[in-house]
């Protein structure tokens, strides 16, 4: 059952990350490295996003019998995974700039957004509270929205 839940997060993360690839393929009749990079950003964003939610809803998951990571491996391990995934996500989020897919405006926005996300993940790892997990979860939504908005703005205002 635990393996099924882990697989669900991976499959769900992959299906949730597919829209940019599908849109790219629909517009260009190909799947490029840039499309796969957009997929990777969303795919890596998914675990810290959902695990932050699962942390402050652990009791609900226990009652439902769904073995989310905080239920199966505990809060400390989950918080470490959130930090590690957020660090990897931060590195990957800079790749659009490194691959000349975006410009300086995006790079600046990504660095700022990443710094805030890593700060939340670091603080969550250091000292847990439901309120902090809730803030990290909410920020993860803001993070992804602003990261992709910055990519669009950068595309149209290329410096």
Both ends of the chain: CA-CA distance in Å?
51
Distances (CA, A) of 135 to 61, 68, 123, 125, 153: 19, 19, 11, 13, 26
Helix (H) or strand (E) holding 65: none
Q: CA angle, 104 as apex, 101 and 105 as ends, to 5°? A: 100
CA distance 29 to 24: 8
User: What single DSSP character describes residue 127?
Assistant: S
Buried b (16+ CB within 10 A) or exposed e, 19-52: ebbeebeeeeeeeeebbebbbbbbbbbbbbbbbb
pLDDT score recorded for residue 52: 97
DSSP codes joined into one string, 72-120: HHHHHHHHHHHHHHHHHHHHHHTHHHHTTSS-HHHHHHHHHHHHHHHHH
Domain boundaries, the chain: 47-156
Report yes or no on whether pTM surpasses 0.75: yes
Give the number of other Cβ atoms within 10 Å of residue 77's Cβ: 13
Give mean pLDDT in consecutive 10-residue pieces for the chain, a chain of 159 residues. 59 85 92 94 95 94 87 94 98 98 97 99 98 98 98 89
CA distance 19 to 17: 6
């Amino acid at each position: 059952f635990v393996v099924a839940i882990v697989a669900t997060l991976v499959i769900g993360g992959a299906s949730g990350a597919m829209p940019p690839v599908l849109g790219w393929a629909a517009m260009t009749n190909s799947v490029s490295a840039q499309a796969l990079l957009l997929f990777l950003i969303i795919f890596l964003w998914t675990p810290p996003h959902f695990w932050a939610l699962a942390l402050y809803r652990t009791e609900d998951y226990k009652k439902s019998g769904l073995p989310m990571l905080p239920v199966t491996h505990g809060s400390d391990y989950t918080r470490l995974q959130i930090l590690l995934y957020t660090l990897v996500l931060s590195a990957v989020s800079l790749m659009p700039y490194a691959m000349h897919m975006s410009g300086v405006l995006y790079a600046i926005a990504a660095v700022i957004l990443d710094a805030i996300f890593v700060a939340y993940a670091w603080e969550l790892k250091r000292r847990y509270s439901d309120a902090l997990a809730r803030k990290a979860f909410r920020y993860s939504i803001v993070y992804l929205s602003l990261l992709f908005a910055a990519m669009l703005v950068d595309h149209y205002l290329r410096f």
